[in-house]
Amino acid sequence: MSAPLRAGFVGLGNIGKPMALRLAAADGVDLHVHDVAPEPVAELVAAGATAAGSVAALAAAVDVLFVMVRDDEQVRAVAEEAGPGTVVVVHSTVAPGTPAALEAAGLTVLDAPVSGGPMGAADGSLAIMVGGDDEAFAAARPVLEAMGAKVVHAGPVGAGTRMKLARNLIHFVAFTAVTEAQRLAEVAGLDLVALGDVVRHTDAITGGPGAIMHRPTTAPLAADDFWHGVFTHVAALGEKDLGFAIALADGLGVDVPLARLAHDRLGPGLGLTRGDR
């Protein structure tokens, strides 16, 4: 029987604590934890983890250090205290250049940001996007799978972060589009809570924005490509409905710049030319 992996976890906040609790319950993991707040540390100790008084002490006691702190500054501070030679899995969402900078400072790095929020962390359904070499990813994968239902090797160091930033671009641009639609709906006399219920219901059926994300490239579509017919229909429907929404907004005096931008860019973004439509 192989020895358990000695794992350290730094950052026991809203997402880090439930992630660490899943590691505490996982087979084959000897978990050690550190946080500046004593309450979550006590909770992890009650779940079977061992507390460390500092990041340096934690790093010295473990094989791999998992980090889920607030921002780049805190990630760099943890890395500096852990010291060169430490194997670090960075779950925090950081700047694109941070993982490579940490590796250049002498650490072995997997950047592994997560998507799914506290709910996904609690029930183990997180998506974890990992950047790093094949060997390091293969070694870490069983532990990552204790915390996430979808673990994706995005590529070399930094690729996990780049994938998370692309994923969150969708998230927050969509949120901004929602605020625009809410303003239009409110002026049009609609119940915004009911609209939200409809959006969540239909996105659960159709897949939301991810429903169009099946092509391996953004290159223009050839006429005989399967997706050409699908996206021609999507663009025609989208341009029609966006046109109607813009006309409604114009009639009500509501500014909808994202809708206008989408009307212009939907077809080209799908890989279609004006002639295709």
Catalytic (active-site) positions: 164
Q: Which residues contact 152 (CB under 8 A, 6 or more apart)?
A: 127, 128, 129, 130, 163
Helices 16-25 and 38-46: angle between axes, nearest 10 degrees: 20
Nearest Cα to 10, choosing from 84, 85, 91? 91
Write the DSSP assignment of 123-148 as a string of letters.
Answer: HT-EEEEEES-HHHHHHHHHHHTTTE
For residues 9 and 143, give the distance between their C-alpha atoms in angstroms, rounded to a whole number: 12
Strand partners, 155: 131
Is 233 exposed, middle or buried (CB count within 10 Å of its CB: 0-12, 13-18, 19+)? exposed
- Structure token digits, residue 248: 């409604």
For residues 263 and 246, give the distance between their C-alpha atoms in angstroms, rounded to a whole number: 9
Helices 159-187 and 226-252: angle between axes, nearest 10 degrees: 40
